Amino acid sequence: MRERGIPHRGFAQLAIIVSYLEMIAKYKDGYLGESESSKYFKQGMLYTFSEIPDNEKDLLEVFYKHVRNGLYHLGITRPKVILFDKIPGSIGFHHENGELVTSPDKFVNDISIRFEAFSQELRKPTNIELRRNFEARFNKDNAPKYATNNGTGKHRLQRTSAPPHVPHPSCQFAHKLLSHQ
């Protein structure tokens, strides 16, 4: 989008990329649950933007409520979120009035750089816990679902899992990523 100069692309970029933050924290932690979005979103922000100082924790709450929740639940950011490309970094926060400024182009670029760094860490055989956590979450997210009729005449989705010693075919991506040097 950036290379083509698509006008008003900022909201689309944020809508696509903001899910990365919660996802990366859940994969890093190996979290297998279906909730705790706020916790993992904020952890993902801190992991991705490790330069956020401790005294800027309000930024995490505002970003979660106004950007993430706004985009996920309303289809647009909430008030006091400003998209502006001429800022020094990808995110800025004004404590007094609670305004959050983000440059979607720079945000996408920052996420891309940090994802590459995460991928490099994941490929290191010595990062056993990170690799185990990633694979556990990946397997959970990609286990097949199928409809069953358990004698009631009603169909429902059930999650299946492969035996622990046999990787599920849908997990070939994770195994390829983990084994790539």
Quick: pLDDT tens for 117-128.
999 999 999 999
Position 163 scores a pLDDT of: 46
Give the model's pLDDT for residue 76.
87
Instruction: Give the SS3 label for residue 86.
Output: coil
Going through 5-154 in order, the beta strands assigned E by DSSP cover 81-83, 91-94, 99-102, 145-149
N- to C-terminal Cα separation, the chain? 30
**pLDDT score recorded for residue 165:** 47
**Residue for token digits 């990329």?**
17
Listed as ranges, residues in the chain with pLDDT below 70 are: 1-4, 145-181
- Please give the pLDDT value at position 81: 93
Q: What is the pTM of this model?
A: 0.76
